[in-house]
Amino acid sequence: MATNALAQAASAYLRSAMHQPIRWHEWSEEAFAAAQRENKPILLDIGAVWCHWCHVMDHESYDDPEVARIVNQNFIAVKVDRDERPDIDSRYQAAVSAISGQGGWPLTAFLTPDGRPFYGGTYFPPDERMGRPGFKRVLEAIAAAFREKHSDVREQADLVMKALSQAESFAGRSTAFSPGIVDSIVRSATRLFDVEHGGFGTAPKFPHASILDLMIDRYARAGEPHLKTVIETTLTRMARGGVYDQLAGGFHRYSVDERWVVPHFEKMSYDNSELLKNYVHSFQVLRDSFFAEVARDIIRWMDEVLSDREHGGFYASQDADIGMEDDGDYFTWTLAEARSVLSEDELKAASYHYDIAEIGEMHHNPQKNVLHVRAAAEEIAARMGTPAERVRALLDSAKQQMLAARLKRPTPYVDKTVYVNWNALCVSAYLDAARVLQLDDARHFALRSLDRILAEAWKPETGLKHVVAYSDPDAKHRDVPGLLDDYAFTAIACLDAYETTADMTYFTFARRIGDAMIERFYDTAGGGFFDVEKSASAAEIGALAARRKPFQDSPTPAGNSAAAIALLRLYAYTHDQSYREKAQQTLEVFAGMAEQYGIFAGTYGIAACLFSAPHTQVVVVGGGEPADKLYAAAVAGFALGKSVLRIPGENEAAPQNLPPALAETIPHLPEVKAGQPVAVVCSEFTCQPPVHDPEQLSEALRQRAKNPELTGTG
């Protein structure tokens, strides 16, 4: 079978189009040179391997010989994987949104030969329907406009580029930072809270993990009842909805309805890593074992589906579908399908619990049901006239039987690409869960995965790469330079690993990567961080010429806010004022506009909290059960800006496991030398008197959380 140039691509998404009749190019200087040489506009398609409508448009349009004829005759066609090149995607998303008011994937953009966008949209059907113009007609109209109205096209491209530059510029919006911005962000988000169903806003509903973490911290400190309602309602309704995989665990990307029932079925590593943190942190604060169960289930699913157990590392995503006519069929059930694998009593209990009926929720197949929790065991017991314990046993059995049957179905594609930024998020989440829930296996796998990133993606002379490994091991590997997210998230993951192990190697990596982030991305003139390296030659192509400082959480934590968090955490260990100063300048760049971003400014709010309140470090020194109890007390509660270090052995070993600035603050205690474990609470490079009793330590940390202005006593 004939192939196009994408047969040489490394990306799974690009390789999936290698047999299309379109003469596709990868994003490259050669593609743009061809467009200028032939004086043709560029058709830019941006999508992802997990994207349902990308597959639909590929099948309907790009597989069509007539569409291919029009494209090949009139355009230079370029295809981009948005996961592999988020820097390209972010700019053209902004451009197409300015043109059409639309965004998302597939992104379809039309560019001048030098890469400047002048028209675009998202999904175009091959022929006019659903109120959308047919793609063939769009292609012919764009080609004619480029030939016959060349000056108008270039004028439009100039206007779009000007709008893009202004949209990505925060010049003139900087202002002095005020801690009150955190209150403003929380208030803005609270106004969008859906009291009935949880979450923020209306359909479609996405998880907003960073704003939830900000609210969890605020509730832990201040105990505001309405924040408890937001946290409990949102996390409970999500975990009981169809947006959560009730059989295997793990969250789908988002819900198309406000009740969290019908999801877009793709599963992303970054959604699950960030939600894992939410459920762990909510368990720490609310002590609801249900949240701990969800956290363990997320890890179980990620272990089984998104983990490279041989080499370490987390895979990128799992697709939603098997084929074009499919819409989550792997994850959904007809009543007949459930009946075929369950006993009569199991079916009755499962039907009540998961709301399985003759008519389900899926439009493409009304018999298909999305499993979601409609009734608890006690309610089902009353309906069935059976003890609740018997119902729980039936539900456990039904879940096992249904999952076993589902595993025999054709499985949606797993993109085994190992991205640095998403892996770093997963490492941090696993280490967080391992500390709180005492999950040794999760701890070991997270550290192994981080070790792989550091070994394969980091070189001091060239910095970080964006991709550690591609899904297809036979694909020609090409290096994609690391982006701001890669550096910020990895520096944070290294600090998390250091706090987990007290191994100074991880701290050294954190500092080196943080310093490289400053050198390569920091704007010394205006403050804040660019998303691509300041010296990147690729910035000369098309919309990449627009300088961008990512601020909005969408959907992963914003790069600038994460960078500020990394710098503030480095400052807390080094007392190097330059880290704190650059974090402050970064916060000030966006201070004038953060409030209006509300739920999309959660990570900024977290960074603001770290900047505004003194950091807290708990150092537990010693071994045995008494030290275990001190450590458990130290990690039990959640608070932004709190870190816990466990130093085994005697006090003499402590300095070599600590950065010098922190080691100088830890007193050398005779009790520890005699073998008595001790905990020392430090803040702003001074320490409180040593603590030997876990209850006393817990109380000291509770008081500090409620009164963050407390400092050490020397």
Domain coordinates in residue numbering, the chain: 5-167, 331-409, 418-609, 616-706
Q: Looking at residue 712, what is its pLDDT?
A: 41
Q: What is the CATH number of domain 5-167?
A: 3.40.30.10
Q: What is the CATH number of domain 418-609?
A: 1.50.10.20
222 vs 709, residue with greater confidence: 222
CA distance 491 to 573: 13
pLDDT in tens, 389-431: 999 999 999 999 999 999 999 999 999 999 999 999 999 999 9
**Do the domains 5-167 and 616-706 sit in the same CATH topology, yes or no?**
yes
CA distance 128 to 141: 14
**Residues paired with residue 671 on neighbouring β-strands, in sequence order:** none
Q: Which two tokens stand for residue 103?
A: 């965004």
Q: How far is CA 651 from CA 48, 203, 622, 623, 635, in A?
A: 52, 56, 7, 11, 21
pTM here?
Answer: 0.96
User: Any residues with CB less than 8 A from the CB of 190 and at least 6 apart, and which?
Assistant: 226, 227, 230
- 3-class secondary structure per residue, 125-136: CCCCECCECCHH
Q: Which two tokens stand for residue 319?
A: 């697709």
For residues 446-454, give the mean pLDDT. 98
Tell me whether residue 340 is exposed, middle or buried, using C-beta atoms within 10 angstroms of its C-beta: 0 to 12, 13 to 18, 19 or more.
exposed
354 vs 712, residue with greater confidence: 354
CA distance 119 to 100: 8
Q: Taking the CA of residue 62 as centre, how many other CA atoms within 13 Å lie in the half-sphere pointing to its CB? A: 26
Helix, strand, coil percentages for the chain (3-state, nearest 5): 55, 10, 35
CA distance 321 to 330: 7
Query: Highest mean pLDDT: which of 157-161, 557-561, 680-684?
Result: 557-561
Secondary structure element (H or E) that encloses residue 401, with its range: helix 388-406
DSSP assignments along 284-348, one per residue: HHH--HHHHHHHHHHHHHHHHHSB-TTT--B--EE-S-SSTT-SSTTT-B-HHHHHHHS-HHHHH
Q: What percent of the chain has pLDDT over 70?
A: 95
Calculate Rg over the CA atoms of the chain.
26
pLDDT at residue 169 tops 80: no
For residues 428-438, give the mean pLDDT. 98
616-706: CATH, from 3.40.30, 3.30.70, 3.40.1350, 3.40.630: 3.40.30
| DSSP type of residue 465 | B
- Do 342 and 352 meet the contact criterion of CB atoms below 8 Å apart? no
pLDDT at residue 595 tops 60: yes
CA distance 6 to 20: 9
Burial profile 507-534: b = 16 or more Cβ within 10 angstroms, e = fewer: bebbbbbbbbbbebbbbeeebbbbbbbe
